[in-house]
Structures are given as structure tokens and as C-alpha cells.
Amino acid sequence: MQQALKQDIPIGTHERFSQGKNSNGEANKLRQEDKAIHDWYRFVLSYPPHFVKSYIERFQLDSSHVILDPFCGTGTTLVECKKLGIPSVGVEVNPVAHFASSIKVDWDVDPIGLLSHANSVAIEALARIADTLTQKQPYREIAAEQAGLILKDSISPLPLHKTLVLQDVLRDIRDDRYAKHEALALAKALVRSISNLSFGPEVGVGKLKDDALVVESWLSEVRAQSCDLRLIRQVGETQAIVHHADARSLSKILEPNSIDAVITSPPYPNEKDYTRTVRLEAVLLGFINNKAELRSLKGNQVRSNTRGVYKADDDDAWVDSFPRIQEIAEEIERRRVSMGKTSGFERLYARVAKLYFGGMARHLADMRTVLRPGARLAYVVGDQASYLRVMIRTGQIIAEIAESLGYECMGIDLFRTRLATATREQLREEVVLLQWPR
């Protein structure tokens, strides 16, 4: 069902209400039939594979087209494209997410050999762990600088010790054919079974575990990979390329006029530090080793939270001429002053709102050169009220920015509603539909 939006929507847009439930749980749930490959490792708030499939069908895409996900995260769009035989390209700046998406589209692995090698690793790791415990050796630890990067009590001492011993064995009897898949299995096991982390949807520390079945949990994830590869390998010839890069600079890595469609979900303008969601596995797998590397990572992302804002940032210049964005920033600042909020982070609320939309404008502007005439785009974005409860209608504003850059806004679909952490109100999560002119 369609209805015209009555207010506060850019001219020329409309809204399509999706069929069925739009609640937090239902629309975003990973279906049982979709779990193969997708469930190797994924963000808590990743959109589901059936969402990607629905827009592939709606855009009438097939193997003759190329789909881009410029904020590909853990690869949902890419994996689903590969399952459907459609070439795809992903871009992701977070090293853990980039690694995960790269491995999830690498199906050229012998599933029997992978499991055989993992079994050998498990036997050796269990023996070494038993020896250290029998001899009452001190538990292994990570360096103090690394420990300072992760949430306190993210992982208990004994599970951490076991994890480090397992990593020793993976290095000592490494097989390059399987090493990356085994590393991704460890990342998944860390989050799901080994650590004390909880997600609700913010990452935090839950009940502390004195012990965990580290090797067994890791081996279980490898078994799942092996099983999926045996089922899916025959459709694995379709190309899927994943670039480790900034989505604001796509023209540096992609060929002009090479993309037929975009299906993606960029960061939202909120106080969620997306690097925290994967910080434990980023540190333990060696993707981030110190504060300088963490700062560099944040510097290459679209600014969406105050912990990633730096003095030299200038993306806000891209939206100086947008009254709606300036009004939001001014309202945030007025509310901050009236409430007597004076912390360094609170003083940045108004600026980060402008930087976010400026970063999205920069991304959309740069992407124009890589799109083919008539390319269609679907952007999942969500309304936000993180900054002193000032409502930010993200989808509407991105549609307005896109139109100013020459895109046509074909509509705004309701994907689902979700519960705001601070206000407990239902916020809209929407799909902004764009088209590059023919």
C-alpha cells in the first residue's frame, strides 16, 4: 500500500509500507533457511538476507548486473548476491567486518580438508591447555596496551588463556588453505560463546564466566562452515570482491560506470561507536593493536558518534547549504545549553550531526562516477533521537541530500520500527530508494 507523505518529506518522494510485521524482531530476523554462510559471523543489527533478496527482485537484477554495497559490514548483501549468481562489490573500512565479509564470500575451500585440519588443531590445543593447567602455569595475558582497548571484563582470565593457547597452535600448525576461515570461526566463537559480552543492542558486559569451552566452541563453528561449504560450493563461481576502503572515496577503487545497483545500510547518526561492537575480536585477532591504529580506523569512517570526531574533520562543509541540517544542529545545541550539559562529548553533539550528513553527502557525490545510467539504490537508515532527544529524520534528510546531488528519490519504504534505548519510543527504520538518471 502506498500513500503520499503529508509533511516534512522532499518533493517527489513517497512511502511504501511493507507487508506483514514491521516490529523490531520480525523484519530483522535471520530466517532458518538463510543461515548457511550468513551465520558464520554477523553484526547483531545486520539487515537480513531476505531483505536483500526482496530488493534484488524489485530492481529486477540478475547475473548481467553488478551490485555494490559501499558499507558492506559482514557481507550480507555480498553473500546473498553470490547465492543468487549476481556479481557484487563490497567496501568496508572496519578491518574485522572487512575480513568477515571477505571470508564469507570465499567458498573455494575444501570442506573436508578444513574440518580435518581443525580437528588436528583442536586435539593439540586441548593437550596444551591441559598441560598448562596441570602444571599450574600462570594464565596467558594480552599486552596492557591491547587490554586497554577492550571493554573491562570482556573476557575472563581462564577463557582468555585458552584462547591464546589455541591461537598459538593455529600459528604453529598453520595451513594457509584454511587459516582465514579458522580465524573467522574464532571471531564468531569469541562473541557467541567464549566472552562475557552481551548485546542488547548496545554491546556491554554480561554475567562473568569463570570458564568456557573455548576449543570446543571454535571447532563447532568450523564444523558449521564445513557443512555449509559442502551444501553451497557448487554455486560459488560468481565473483564477489571486497575492498578495505572508505565509502567516501569509492571513485579511487571502482571503475567508472561499473555499478548497476546499490543495496546497503550506512551508519546511523547516533552515539554508537561501531568499533566497540567488534573490539574484542579486533584486538585478539590482531587487527587493532594500539590507540593509534584505532584512531586511524575511526578517521576513515563516516562520522556518526562523538568518539570519532577530530579537529581536522571538515565533512560538515558539504551540508552548509542545507537549512534542515543546520536547524537540527542548532536545536541540539540550544537544548544542551538549556539542560546545562557541559561534557566534552555533549559539546560535540551538534557538530557530529552535521559531520554525519556531510559524510553521507560526500559519499553520494563521489559515488556518482561509478554508477551506470539508471542505477537503482536502496539505503537502510533509521530515525534517531540520541542527541538530547532531538529527533533526526535520517531517511528524509538523506533523500533531500541525494536529490540535490542529481539523484532521483523514488520513495521511502518502511522497513521496520525499533525501540529507542533512551526514550523507549518506536523509531522508524526506512529504505531510501534512489535512482541515478538514465
The ranges assigned to domains in the chain are 1-30+305-438, 111-234
Crossing angle, helix 157-172 and helix 214-232, to 10 degrees?
50
Block residue for cell numbers 575511526: 298
Cell 580437528 belongs to 119
42-46, 165-169, 315-319, 412-416: least confidently modelled range: 42-46
Whole-structure pTM value: 0.91
Residue 236's nearest CA partner among 103, 65, 96, 47 is: 103
Q: Would you state the cell numbers that stand for residue 235, as one nine-digit string?
A: 554455486
At 26 the pLDDT is: 61
pLDDT of residue 12: 34
Cβ atoms within 10 Å of 422's Cβ, excluding its own? 12
**In the predicted model, is pLDDT for residue 421 greater than 80?**
no
pLDDT given for residue 234 in this prediction: 66
Q: What are phi and psi of 327, to 5 degrees?
A: -65, -40
Q: What is the mean pLDDT of residues 284-293?
A: 95
Q: Which is higher by pLDDT, 386 or 94?
A: 94
Distance CA 161, CA 435 (A): 52
Q: Select, from the ranges 18-22, 25-29, 160-164, the one with the highest average predicted confidence (pLDDT).
A: 160-164
Cell 579537529 maps to which residue? 311
Share of the chain above pLDDT 90, in %: 81
Average pLDDT over residues 105-128: 97
Percentage of residues of the chain with pLDDT beyond 70: 91
C-alpha dihedral (384, 386, 388, 393), degrees to nearest 10: -10
Position of cell 571493554?
Answer: 151
- Write phi, then psi, for 205 (nearest 5 degrees): -105, 125
Q: pLDDT band for position 6 (50/70/90)?
A: very low
Task: Choose among 197, 180, 136, 179: nearest CA to 161.
Answer: 136
Is the model's pLDDT at 138 over the cut of 80? yes
- Cell numbers 559539546: residue: 347
| Residue 235, pLDDT score | 65
When mean pLDDT is compared across 118-127, 156-165, 386-395, the lowest value belongs to 386-395
Amino acid, res. 112: I
User: In sequence order, what E strands does 51-189 have?
Assistant: 67-69, 88-92
Stretch 232-245: mean pLDDT, rounded? 86
Confidence at residue 184, expressed as pLDDT on a 0 to 100 scale: 98
Q: Which residues of 187-206 are buried (b: 16+ CB within 10 A; e: fewer)?
A: bbbbbebbbbbeeeeebeee
Q: What is the pLDDT of residue 422?
A: 60
Contacts of residue 414, defined as CB under 8 A and 6 or more positions apart, other chains included, come to 15, 16, 17, 18, 22, 428, 429, 430, 431
218 vs 423, which has greater pLDDT?
A: 218
What pLDDT is recorded for position 201? 67
